[in-house]
Structure 1
Amino acid sequence: MATVEDPETAFPEAHKILKQFIISDEDLVKIMNGMSKEVKAGLNADTNARASIPCHLSYVQDLPTGRERGRFLALEMWPTNCRIMLVKFGNEKDVYMSSKAVVIPYTVAAGRGDELFNFLAENIAIFVRDKKVEKENLPMGIAFTFSMKKLALDVGILVAWSRGFGAENAVGKNVVDLLRVAVAKHKDIAVNIVGIVNDAVGSLMALAWSYPDCKIGLIVGTFTNAAYVEETDNCQMFEGDVTKPYMIINSDMARYGENAHLDFIRNEFDKALDLETNNPGYRLFEKCVSTLYIGELVRSVIVRLMRQGVIFKEHNLEYIGIRWKMEMKSLIAIESDPPGVHTKCQEVMDKFRMRNCLEKDLACVRYICEVITARSAKLVACGLACFIHKMDYAEISVAVDGGVYRLHPTYSITLNKEALKLVNPSNRFKIIVAEDSAGVGAAIVAGLAVMAKNRSTSKARETMQVS
């Protein structure tokens, strides 16, 4: 850690509280092994319903080779906006992407489901006309960050929206069909919507086009998840084409801990935070590691110390006392200061109307950020190591997406270091930031699906001709 002083001596009260966030190497091994057992349970038909890592089938069985060529469309759907993309795969590792970001108005997001999908279809129509591909019936894939239940490559049943969306009559329906119906109203365009994936699967597929040994997609941001490549024979829940050797699994590892497996490390702050969420008792792993929750945990510890009269004695709780107001970008700024310098930390505290703070208090805030953020990275390393062990490849690339990994000054270092300690030395891994978005992966999925369907049709015709 970058703290100059010995924290136990400099901040004894804070150190006592933060010991609750320190996880031993033995605890990390225990967590990794527990996750491995839950993955096996998630893949097993008899135990899937009880598993806290449910291992959802993505129905993506074709992996890119890097030799795919052509133009494909994608729609990325995020909690506040969407992005429509035209992706062209050229020679070697050349990917050309043209995109349009669209902010989803609150009135649309909070309205009826058909209003939302009509809005999306209208913007897709504008985009394909602008790109002069409105008549080409290009394959389109959807990268979807909301909770859904996959039943086929092109069947994703919406389970729930995130905060801010109220399109309730879309819940329980197939997102692909909803978009198909809306797009069909535009008679002058032809778009072939063929598949839907979540962001972890999309990130995996996007990197796999350039790195064929990419077998894991890791998301560390507002949400936490991992997708990995499993052998089809191990997927007992799958009733489709078992002749294809692989199936990408959406692990939904954010749910780990729902069966009490994390209770031995969850502390009073974790439990209090959980009760303030809209889904108490669920997604407990995510609530220990994701950016929204890290910020709230840091804020909660600061408030506790202020109420004890330990730090910021000249300031009040009027603004720092507001829940969910400590954002991850503030934590990144605080830890980006050089050792012993707290300029950015003071800028963050200025936002809470706490000006001219004592240097020692600012140093204590940085210490709080370091400990809680490090715990997040260590827990994510447990999940990563779990999947690397499961696949047991000699060499593997991991696609990682999420601002905290890319922008935080120490998060990536901690995650890599802790994963190295947990992973068998015979399984070498390389974590690569996914420069191409999940939408690029969704476009690849769409293209591969159409190619596979065309090959199947050609074989069927050849069989008919022979007979």
Structure 2
Amino acid sequence: MAVYSRSAPKDLLDEIKHLEELFAIDTTKLKEITHHFADELTKGLSVHGGSIPMNPTWVMSKPTGHETGEYLTLDMGGTNLRVCQVTLTEQKSEFDIIQSKFRMREELKTGVAEELWEYIADCLQQFIKTYHGDVTNKIPLGFTFSYPATQNYIDEGILQRWTKGFDIAGVEGHDVVPMFEAALSQRGVPVKLTALVNDTTGALVASAYADPKVKIGCIFGTGCNAAYIEDCGSIPKLAHLNLAPDTHMVINCEWGAFDNEGKVLPRTPYDISIDKGSPRPGQQAFEKMVAGLYLGEIFRLIMVDLHDNHDAYIFAGQDISELRKPYSLDSAFLAAIEEDPSKNLSNTLELFQTDLNISPNAPELRLIRRTAELIGTRAARLSACGVAAISIKKGYATCHVGADGSVFQKYPHFKARGAQALREILDWPEKEDPGEEDPIEILPAEDGSGVGAALVAALTLQRIRDGNMHGILHPENFN
């Protein structure tokens, strides 16, 4: 809901109206985006592919809820490295977990590949010493590698491109597993990588472990992505493997790359500026409009533009040098603005004073609030297009979607705005009872990078015991 009023100067009201025109996405446009999205998902499964990679994961079943064993999991995210010990118990869908987080230092993201893998191996070794002591047998590991990767086997990950601010030379186009295992071997870390898992695949598997109604897993965080279960008969690019048509395969969509061609997404000048200044211009078009890494930057660019190039000339006479620093504002900054409960937006004023050394006046505060609302609302509505596209492609009239990530979990109104967009796209009638569940309900996911990765490792080992070796391991790793 807009919080500005006609008491604002006309020039600011004009700027607000212009921003509303730039960022608003009506129902007709949502449907257009969704149907193109569904076509692109299908294209990605074809022999020739498309912008959306639609990566087979070689996760070929849902958990039963009766998986057991002790597993290590490693989650290499954009901000933190998380190591977990997950014990799947005899009780259906129950587990115990111990975890430690390690900061992913910024210099690692653009440094030398060997330094990255050495740091990760050191963190694993530290965790094992703390919680395991001396280990005689290698512990199975599920490695959550949340970057677009081609997998011909479940213990392989050929990096297609870095995302989430990473830009390390010599890794794209190569399998990251041998690099990682070399660092483990050098340090004598007693770990055996059993499965490489995308965080979205993990979210799907972990959520389905707790809730059989879950058919889609999503991440709305630093990046954005989705996974769902496809029939191999609908994956032409796997036809040469002669898998039974009704064989299941979890597909890691990597839908952040949707519409790299610029056909349907309503990009603003600010989106174009972010793309041009990114390490990979022309890539991850969808992600750059909806993911947490970029929301604060969109807001920052708008504020600088309104100060420098518009008649409104906001923050007149003030030093905005802090505001000029690229990526100095994150999605949490926008969330704090939207969460400000005060009528005079005093919390937002304090936030600007503390973080940016800027003191907005009352009309400027209302402009700030409305801008944050527009950016957050657009992200939620666009995200719903991807969920709707998978649902349309698969013919899901009802299902649960397990969603994870900081934007979904913490950004105000994200879930409600996305649900409203789904309602518009899929033409659901208005609810008679406000407490009634939507036909397709997006719910908080279970721990995908921890429990999900452990479950994928457990499912992989079970398939090896069953002798079902399709895409499980490289032949040299069978023993």
- Matched with 2:371 is 368
With over 3 angstroms needed to count, the CA separation of the structure-2 counterparts of 1:107 and 1:30, relative to structure 1, is: closer
1:217–1:227: 8 Å Cα contact kept in structure 2?
yes
Give 1:56-455 correspondences, 5 Å limit: 56-90=55-89, 91-104=91-104, 112-132=112-132, 134-162=135-163, 168-185=169-186, 190-238=190-238, 239-240=240-241, 242-243=243-244, 245-262=247-264, 265-307=266-308, 308-310=310-312, 311-338=314-341, 340-350=343-353, 351-355=355-359, 357-423=360-426, 425=428, 428-455=439-466
Aligned partner of 1:464 in structure 2 is: none
Q: Deviations over 1:128-159 (max 9, x none)?
A: 34333823433211101234222221110134
Unaligned runs of 5+ in 1: 459-467
Structure 2 CA distance for aligned equivalents of residues 253 and 21 of structure 1: 21
The CA deviation at 1:2 is 4.8
% identical equivalent positions: 27
The one-letter code matched in structure 1 to 2:289 is C
Q: Deviations over 1:210-268 (max 9, x none)?
A: 112212111112211111111111111225472462111111111111122235x2222
Amino acid at match of 1:336: E
Q: Which ranges in structure 2 are unaligned for 5 or more consecutive residues?
A: 430-437, 470-479
RMSD: 2.6
**Distance between the aligned counterparts of 1:134 and 1:241, measured in 2?**
41
Change (3 A) 1:80 1:260: closer
- Equivalent in the alignment of 1:11: 13
Paired positions, count: 452
1:283 is aligned with what amino acid? Answer: Q
Please, which moves more after superposition, 106-115 or 144-153?
Answer: 106-115
Cα separation, partners in 2 of 1:27 and 1:169, compared to 1, 3 Å = closer
Give the TM-score, by structure 2 length. 0.87
In structure 1, what is the Cα distance between the partners aligned to 2:130 and 2:298? 46
For 1:317 and 1:85, the matched residues in 2 are separated by 42
CA separation of 1:52 and 1:112: change in aligned 2, threshold 3 A: closer
Counterpart-to-counterpart distance in 2, 1:450 and 1:77: 22
Distance 1:33 1:170, change over 3 A: closer
Distance 2:67 2:357 in 1: 54
Aligned-partner Cα distance in 2 for 1:316–1:129: 50
- Cα distance between partner residues in 2 of 1:104 and 1:316: 32
Cα displacement (A) at 1:288: 1.3
> Given the superposition, is the C-alpha separation of residues 166 and 12 from structure 1 closer, same or farther in structure 2, using an over 3 Å criterion?
closer
What CA distance in whole angstroms lies between the structure 1 residues aligned with 2:52 and 2:111?
A: 33
Tell me how far apart the structure 1 counterparts of residues 460 and 28 of structure 2 sit (CA, whole Å): 44
Partner of 2:54: 55
1:39 match: 41
**Aligned-residue offset at 1:346:** 0.9
Instruction: Quote the residue 2:467 is aligned against.
Output: 456
Higher deviation after alignment, 2-11 or 368-377: 2-11
Q: Contact between 1:66 and 1:212, CA under 8 Å: does it hold in 2? A: no
Name which of structure 1's ranges 314-323 and 418-427 shifts more when overlaid on structure 2: 418-427
AA paired with 2:450? G
Give 1:273 shift: 2.3
| Aligned-partner SS, 1:323 | coil
Equivalent-residue separation in structure 2 for 1:116 and 1:267 (angstroms): 35
CA contact (8 A) 2:150 2:159 kept: yes
Partners of 1:389 and 1:424 within 8 A in 2: no
Q: How big is the shift at 1:319? A: 2.4
Residue 28 of structure 2 is matched in structure 1 by 26
Q: CA deviation at 1:183?
A: 2.6
How far does residue 414 in structure 1 lie from its aligned partner after superposition?
0.2
Closer/same/farther in 2, CA of residues 106 and 369 from structure 1, 3 Å limit? closer
Amino acid corresponding to residue 326 of structure 2 in structure 1:
R
Structure 2 letter corresponding to 1:255: A
Q: Residues 62, 53 of structure 1: CA spacing in aligned structure 2 closer, same or farther, 3 A cutoff?
A: same
1:424 to partner: Cα distance: 6.0
> How far apart, in 1, do the equivalents of 2:453 and 2:329 lie?
33
Partner letter of residue 80 of structure 2?
N
Secondary structure of 1:76 counterpart: strand
Query: Whole-Å Cα distance in 2 between the matches of residues 305 and 224 of structure 1?
Result: 29
Cα contact 1:72–1:443 (8 A) shared by 2: yes
Q: Contact 1:400 / 1:433 at 8 angstroms: preserved in 2?
A: yes
Can you list the C-alpha shifts for 1:261-318, whole angstroms capped at 9, x where unaligned?
235x222222222212122221111111112222122222222322324232342432
Distance in 2 (CA, whole Å) between partners of 1:20 and 1:391 is: 32
CA distance in 1, matches of 2:267, 2:406: 24
Distance 1:224 1:111, change over 3 A: closer
Q: Write the distance in 2 (CA, Å) between the matches of 1:70 and 1:361.
A: 57
Are the equivalent residues in 2 in contact too, given 1:139–1:450 (CA < 8 A)? no
Distance 1:61 1:333, change over 3 A: same
Deviations 1:395-416 (A, max 9, x none): 3111111112211221111011
